[in-house]
Structure formats: C-alpha cells, structure tokens
Amino acid sequence: MSNSASHLMPIFNRLPVAFAHGNGVRLTDVNGKVYLDALSGIAVNGLGHNHPRLVQALQAQVAQVIHVSNLYDVPQQHELANALAQLSGMDEVFFSNSGAESNEGAIKLARLYGQQQGKKDAKIIVMSEAFHGRTLATLTATGNAKVQKGFEPLVSGFVRVPYNDVEAIKAYADDESVVAVMLEVVQGEGGIRCLNAGVLTEIRALCDAHGWLLILDEVQTGIARTGKWFAHQHENVKPDVMTLAKGLGSGVPVGAILTSGRATGVFPVGAHGTTFGGNPLAMAAGLATVAAIESDGLAANAERQGAAIKRGLNLALKDEVLAGDVRDIRGLGLMIGIELDRPCGELVKLALNEGMLINVTHDTVVRLLPPLVFSDEDSAELVDRLSKLIKNFLNEAP
C-alpha cells in the first residue's frame, strides 16, 4: 500500500489494494475482501493463482537449485525449448527474463541478419498503436507517442505503417534497407485490435518475396491466451522470429525468443546474452505451465470461455451497442476488448470497489484477460457483474 514515507520511485499509479493470497481465479486482499480476477496480472497468471502443479514444481526446484549462470549447461532449458519447438514448429529458443528483453533481442537479431545480408542502416517496419516494451529500442518500436515522450532521441531504424494496412508495407518493397516486419497479431495495449483475416498471410508472402524477417510479438497473445498455443496459428502462418513472456512462467519472470528458417543461427557465440534468463527456477515454472495447459486443455477452454463471454456481453449490452455507447466487443479467446464511446478509466476503480479486477487501455477500451482456468460459472459471473457496471457507468456519465 502506498504511503508518503515510501522510498519507491513513484512510477506506477497504483490502485489502493494489496493482495494477501490467491486461489484459482480469486484474489483476497489484506483485509479479507475477495476479488474475481479478470486481468490475471496482465495476461501472466494463465493458470490462475496457487495452481497445485506450479506450486509443487517451484517448491521442488527451490529445494534443489534456483540459479546457475549460463556459463553452465541448464538441462531444463533443453526440455522447455524442445516443448516450445514442438508446439510452434520453430527451430531454436533463447530464454530471457521479460517481453521487453525478448523484443530487444529480436530487434538486435534482425539488425544482425541485415548486416549479414550486406544491408546497411537496417530498417524494421513496425505498426501504429503497437506496444513492444519500455527499453529504448522497444519503446521506439512502440507506436504510442505518450510512451516515447521525453526519451528522445529515440533509436533510429524504424519506419511505421498503419496496422492492418498491407499496401503501406508494400510501399517499402523497393527499399533495400528494410530487414524485417514486426507486429502483434492482436494489439493488447493498442486496444485489443486484431489483424483482419488474411492480412498475416499477405505479410508473410511479402517477407518471403523480399527476404525480410517476419517478427511476431506474442508476448501477450502467446501461451494459449487466444485459444491456440500462439495467435499466428489461427491463420496457419509461421514467423521467422517469435517473442514470448507473460504467460510462459505463470508469474515467474520468463521470456523467450524463438527462431525459424533463415532467422536461425544469426546470433554467433557472444552476440547476445542474459544473466538470469533461463535459470532453473524459471525453467521449472515454464515446464509446469506448458504441462498444465496441455494436460488440462486450457487452450480449448480459452477459446470456449472467450466466445461465451463475448456472446454474453453482446446480449447483456445489446441496447448499449444499438445506441452506440458500446462501439465494439472484440478479441480472440480470453483476450477481450469492450470499446466504449467515451473515456472509461474510471471503470477500473469502480470494478475494484465491486470486487473485480479489470483493465482499461487506449482510454476507451475495457480490457479483459482472465486466467485460462476460467469456468463456465466464472464467465457467466463476469458477464453479469461487468455488464451491470458498464450500464451504470454509461447512465451516470453520458
């Protein structure tokens, strides 16, 4: 809980709540109040809270060894890399600590790939409204002026095009300095915006035609969040580079860069590295997460519950949709956005008061990222409670 004597940097605008423990899709605060978690730590806690398989795996690993340097072999890295390669069809994996670190590594890889192709002053095509992280290179790749403000000069080597605009990408077909296209299949921070059907296939074809790498940022969409292991599998398109984090460690920091085809082998020994990435504790978390999602069918559950929540919200808010107060209800799997016709950040505090954890992004979009373990009853409860909250908000803030 925040207080005036804190020595923490005041970077986060924290809500006035602190949690004592969690169980499944519920969190309990230090005063005993219980909350329905429809945010899952921003798409991190896919297994919910206190999942027995994860707890057992972490306790066992802590009792053995938590960390060793990447100067030594870490057998669990091979095991998790093999599992991810089998699920994705990618060739090689590098483990990092976070999504930003993974995306930073992907940008470095693309630049080195360009150098190896004889391309100087490499450019990466990125999208408007994208979010790739807050390190200097990834915030430059991010398409949000608010995130970039004050940190100029930004990193050179990025050109930006509108999301979903294949023709804008084609305009760079004759630019010999382009080395890659980087994008999210579903933009999370950008307001839960999805690529239109067929667009990813067209971009894949453009990359193949011009020797560009296709980099997919699946930090938020990966690990079954959208109803498939990876969001690009909805269109059966394989990237050259894919980045992961968030749901991979179920709360233990784990990120990954996966490569395929011509992106494999670009990094020679010493070209990249990490201190904590891929340590035994992180790998235990990743292995337990992948095993639980696979054995419990959580990808299919995410697809089913996501469809039920969208269907329920459309029904409960049909009058508001017709009136234009609710502009859209969209998303893939358990990555859902409800776009209103007005700023709605206040809804986060109103939901907190009602015992629900939600998020608002892009000023006007309620973002829902429930744990993958949501049940039919949890989805029905969320629809009922959230739709009433939105109705009241719209009535009181016309």
Q: Given 94, 95, 158, 217, which residue is catalytic?
A: 217
Q: At what angle do helices 298-316 and 376-396 cross, to 10 degrees?
A: 30
What is the Cα–Cα distance from 19 to 146, expressed in whole angstroms?
A: 30
- Cβ-in-10-Å burial (0-12, 13-18, 19+) of 391 comes to middle
**Residue 335, strand partner residues:** 332
* Active-site choice (123, 228, 246, 310): 246
Residue 217, annotated ligand binder? yes
339 is an annotated ligand-binding site residue = no
Beta-carbon neighbour count of residue 287 at 10 Å? 18
Is 218 assigned a ligand-binding role in the annotation?
A: yes
Q: Is 135 annotated as a binding residue?
A: no
The question of whether 131 is a catalytic residue gets the answer yes
Give CA–CA dist 236/257, Å, rounded.
19
**List 94, 95, 131, 374, catalytic entry:** 131
Maximum C-alpha span of the chain? 62
138 is in an annotated binding site: no
Q: Is 99 annotated as a binding residue?
A: yes
CA distance 61 to 50: 16
CA-CA distance, 6 to 19, in Å (whole number)?
A: 18
376-396 vs 346-353: helix crossing angle, rounded to 10: 120
- Report whether 259 belongs to an annotated binding site: no
Whether the CB-CB separation of 15 and 359 falls below 8 Å is answered with no
d(CA 161, CA 165): 7
Cβ–Cβ under 8 Å, residues 90 and 243: no
Catalytic annotation present for 217 = yes
* 238 classed as catalytic: no
In the chain, count H helices and then E strands. 13, 17
Evaluate whether 279 touches 148 at the Cβ level (below 8 Å).
Answer: no
165 is in an annotated binding site: no
Q: Report which DSSP code applies to 372.
A: T
Instruction: Please give the DSSP secondary-structure letter assigned to residue 121.
Output: S
CA distance 167 to 392: 42
Binding-site residues for pyridoxal 5'-phosphate: 99-100, 131, 217-220, 275
Binding-site residues for N(2)-acetyl-L-ornithine: 134, 274
**Residues catalogued as catalytic:** 131, 217, 246
Binding-site residues: 99-100, 131, 134, 217-220, 274-275
